[in-house]
Structure 1
Amino acid sequence: MHPLDSPGLWAETAPPAPQTERFSGAHEADIAIVGAGFTGLAAALEAAGAGARVVVLEAAEIGAGGSGRNVGLVNAGLWLMPEVLEKRLARHTPDSPLPALLAQAPAAVWALIERHGIDCEARPVGTLHCAPDRAGLDALSERAMQWRARGVPVALLDAAQTRARTGSDAFRGALFDPRAGTIQPLGYVRGLAQAALTAGAQIFTRAPVTDARQSGGIWELTTPGGTLRAPRVIWATNAYAQGPAEEPAKALAVLPYFNFATNPLPEALREGILPGGEGAWDSAKILTSFRLDAAGRFIIGSVGALGAADRGAHTAWAARQMARLYPQLKGQAFAHEWFGRIGTTPDALPRLWQPGPGAFGFMGYNGRGIGPGTVLGQILARVALGQEAALPALQAAEPDRLRQPRSLFIRTGAALWHLADRRR
């Protein structure tokens, strides 16, 4: 693993992870869960809270994958326009309940944080989707119209209102979504883990699943330290899949995403930057995300990895972009840098993997892991418990023959874009 391919800042500022056990010997459970990220731990908490014997197997550490590395924007829905999402899901199931569930995903996150007292710098104060140009503003206007038609009180802001909300002159307008907000993502996932443990689940880290076989209605999962037998298995590994989940994860192209963060800004510099505490991102093809954390660190991110070949281009671009957005931050050094993998699909919809009876999971959140990951984890648990009859009808996770070219194009294209983007 690349030394920067880690939770970065979040690992330094999150509350400590709960203590976990070493997996060894033979174990049994009602529900086995593979992966200790948003989806797996939301499922574990839901199932353990209902009285099921739950065992979670994590290949590395809690939140070591995408759940502990992202920007921390808690958004509603998927990247798609609401109307497009509904039409695409209708191909699989007419009148699918999934769009409504995803639309309210932030509410599910805020409810879990409040109910379990999760310490994760939660700020349910909304997000700002910003338009740097006319095309972006037109797209946001359409998105606002579609959300309002569905009863969601989003607000389309003009340039002056956006300047007041962001503290930046860089945008023509923005879409404010009051449902959304920000969290410290690793703090959230560690909090979910503690809540699941309190509810009675067991969580084992450094326990990669190397094999999964079913016989007589029982799945047997093999790890280097022992075996776990359960009639139901929830797979929640997404873009960090290993072992038996590695092949279906080939349905995903990898979109790398990096973040840089300053040290806590002096009050004189911080004043006026996102004064309402919203998280923000723009509508550019190669987007920019930006926010402050609870200590006043400025965090900026975009598409790209931080490998030997592309780290320099992204570092220089992030410094220029920070100064373009907020000239007062010109020359501020970055104290933290990290990146992770986002699993993407050609149609921007998650994929459903069902390796056999009683085993299932979702993958491919296309950059919306916090809200949808939480809600879909709860759905997986309810299906495993028999509380819901069927999983949402989504396309099966089948290998995408173009995933490697798409992944390479995304990474290379982002590096070239950031290298060439030298606007002052």
Structure 2
Amino acid sequence: MQNDPKSHGLWALTAPPAPATGLLAGDLEADIVVIGAGYTGLSSALHLAEGGARVVLLEASDIGFGGSGRNVGLVNAGMWVMPDTLRETLGSPFGERLIELLGRGPQKVFELIETHQIDCELERAGTLHCAVGRKGLQEIEIRAEQWQRRGAPVTVLDAEETRKKVGGGCYTGALLDKRAGTIQPLAYVRGLARAAIAAGVSIFTQSEALTARDTGSRWKISTERGSVEAEWVIVASDAYGKGPWSQVRYEQVHLPYFNFATYPLPAGLRASILPERQGAWDTKEVLSSFRFDRSGRLVFGSVGALEGLGSSVHRAWALRSLRNLFPQLDHIEFETGWFGLIGMTSDNLPRFHKFDRKVISFSGYNGRGIAPGTVFGSVLASYVLGYLVEKDLPLPATGLAGQRFRAAQEAFYKAGSQLVHLAEARLR
């Protein structure tokens, strides 16, 4: 991955190789051109090809280069936003429609993994949203009630039950969501690419879309060495977007998130931590997340960028926090560390954009990219193939709206996370 160990870390070390791809050289024609080889782009390309369409996918870098290859690997249902808040924000019919669709999101991911035999370390034990203090407990109780009202299999655990599930910590409770699970995220996105190629999709990497021209009946997307003409364009580059429709960047605030992975733990230690192999995160504003990979490495992450002073600050904080959470890890060290960017919208909800005639996009996953990206990719395919009409989509089409003080907010997140982690270190 561009020879940068801080971009994909553990995932680049342990994922199966990416399928063979090359640069676009020459001029091609297709029914649809997809821009971006992440979850959304590859899911849409796969479903389009399975529907009989000719698809060309252009990726500026490598498969899974952006958030799809860097995230924690938690396959969660819904969004960060509470279900009732989501419904109130979007109104009828989109609110409940989106809640229902994304509530089934993990199941869609698991079905694709099974159907296409994707080797991505799938664990279907659920996830734990761990409550910190009384306020955190109230938060997960409200969230649980709203999901239970909609028939979701979620349960609030008390402090003792949580301690048994986690294997440490002093959490006041946890929300166990049995719909969810964990995967190796880069392995999953590479598996989607293999499935798409097998279905007939032509994928070109290191082939950035530089210009787009409407010829009247078709779009001509040009790269440095070639071009693709197609009737439809699906823009699926999101927070890492470049090229003709990269303005989606300006409605997102980029939140950095890092992960560190230990060396594989001895069997005895593995058995004492997350014994059922749920993925977990807490209710703090500057949250922490933790989970195992298949080889017994404990992956621990939080908000922050591993660059400059942040590299040492966040590493030291992560070591102290992990040892505080699990005292049995008193001599633990990290094998790898990496970070990426989360695209945050103003209301923490995704967007459906119609950039131009037959140019469409879903973006803005706010840290919930795996299941929503996969699901929205299939929705885009159904829309282009004519199986869905616009009024039946899960989101209304909206215009681009930049966020005020975006650069200042991003600088605050980067510096603020360092200050929080420094302050927490002094309290211990």
TM-score, normalised relative to structure 2 = 0.96
Structure 2: how far apart are the matches of 1:39 and 1:163? Answer: 36
Cα displacement (A) at 1:270: 1.5
Q: What residue number does 1:7 align with?
A: 8
Contact 2:69 2:185 in 1 (8 A): yes
CA deviation map 1:382-403 (0-9, x unaligned): 1111211114315333222322
CA distance in 2, matches of 1:95, 1:290: 30
CA distance in 1 between partners of 2:66 and 2:377 (Å):
16
1:215 alignment partner AA: T
Which residue in the other structure is 2:142 paired with? 142
Cα distance in 2 for residues equivalent to 1:182 and 1:235:
27
Residues 24-173 of structure 1 correspond to what in structure 2 (within 5 A)? Answer: 24-90=25-91, 93=93, 97-173=97-173
1-structure distance, mates of 2:231, 2:9:
37
The letter of the residue matching 1:372 is P
1:244 match: 244
Q: For residues 156 and 69 of structure 1, what CA distance do their matches in structure 2 show?
A: 29
- Which ranges in structure 2 are unaligned for 5 or more consecutive residues? none
Compute the displacement of 1:124 (Å): 1.3
Q: Which consecutive aligned stretches of 4+ in structure 1 deviate over 3 angstroms post-superposition?
A: 1-5, 93-96
**Could you tell which deviates more after superposition, 72-81 or 327-336?**
327-336
2:207 matched residue in structure 1: 207
1:344 to partner: Cα distance: 0.2
Higher mean C-alpha displacement, 94-103 vs 41-50: 94-103
Identity across aligned pairs (percent)?
49
CA RMSD of aligned residues (A): 1.3
User: Per-residue CA shift, 1:159-201, capped at 9, x if unaligned?
Assistant: 1100110101321100000000000000000000000011111
* 3-state SS, counterpart of residue 305 of structure 2: coil
Deviation at 1:151, TM superposition (A): 0.6
Residues 394 and 125 of structure 1, relative CA distance in 2, 3 Å threshold: farther
Alignment of 1:393-412 (within 5 A): 393-412=396-415
Aligned position for 1:187:
187
- Classify the secondary structure of the residue corresponding to 2:301: strand
Per-residue deviation, 1:4: 4.5
- Between the two proteins, the alignment pairs up a number of residues equal to 423
Deviates more, 1:198-207 or 1:378-387: 378-387
Indicate how the Cα distance of structure 1 residues 10 and 295 shifts in structure 2: closer, same or farther if over 3 A, else same: same
- One-letter identity of the residue aligned with 2:4: P
What are the equivalent positions in structure 2 for 1:301-316 lying under 5 Å apart?
A: 301-316=301-316
Q: Which deviates more, 176-185 or 353-362?
A: 353-362
Give how far 1:95 is off: 5.8
Q: Distance in 1 between matches of 2:196 and 2:94?
A: 34
Q: Tell me if structure 2 keeps the 8 A contact 1:319–1:331.
A: no
Task: Identify which range, 363-372 or 237-246, moves more after superposition.
Answer: 237-246
CA contact (8 A) 1:4 1:339 kept: no
**Pairs within 5 Å for 1:241-320:** 241-320=241-320
Correspondence 1:387 to 2:390: no
| Residue 340, structure 1, aligned to residue 340, structure 2 | yes
Hey, what's the Cα distance between the residues in 1 that align with 2:130 and 2:254? 25
Distance 1:394 1:273, change over 3 A: farther
* Distance verdict in 2 for CA 1:394–1:180, change over 3 Å: farther
One-letter amino acid matched to 2:199: A
Report if aligned partners of 1:35, 1:237 keep a CA contact under 8 Å in 2: yes
SS at match of 1:285: coil
Which residue pairs with 1:198 in the alignment?
Answer: 198
Partner of 1:234: 234
Q: What is the rounded CA distance, in whole Å, between the counterparts of 1:63 and 1:14 in structure 2?
A: 11
Deviations 1:294-339 (A, max 9, x none): 0000100000001113111101110011011101112311010000
Distance in 2, matches of 1:77 and 1:248, equals: 22
Residue 86 of structure 1: how far off its partner (Å): 1.1
1:250-308 residue CA offsets vs partner (Å, 9 max, x unmatched): 11000000000011001122121000010000000100000110000010000000111
More off after superposition, 267-276 vs 199-208: 267-276
For 1:279 and 1:94, the matched residues in 2 are separated by 29
The 1-side partners of 2:327 and 2:399 are apart by: 47
User: What is residue 418 of structure 1 aligned with on the other side?
Assistant: 421
**Alpha carbons 1:4, 1:338 under 8 Å: kept:** yes
Tell me which amino acid in the other structure corresponds to 2:233: V
Counterpart of 1:23, as a letter, is L
C-alpha contact (below 8 Å) 1:23/1:225 kept by paired residues: yes
**Is the CA contact (8 Å cut-off) linking 2:127 and 2:279 kept in structure 1?**
yes
- Judge conservation of contact 1:351–1:397 (CA < 8 Å) in 2: no
- AA partner of residue 338 (structure 1): W
TM-score (norm 1): 0.97
Match of 2:327 in 1: 327
Distance 2:189 2:83 in 1: 27
| 1:395-419 deviations in Å (ceiling 9; x for gaps) | 3332223221111111111111011
Deviation at 1:154, TM superposition (A): 0.5
- One-letter amino acid matched to 1:415: Q
Tell me, yes or no, if the aligned pair for 2:35 and 2:59 is still in contact at 8 Å: yes
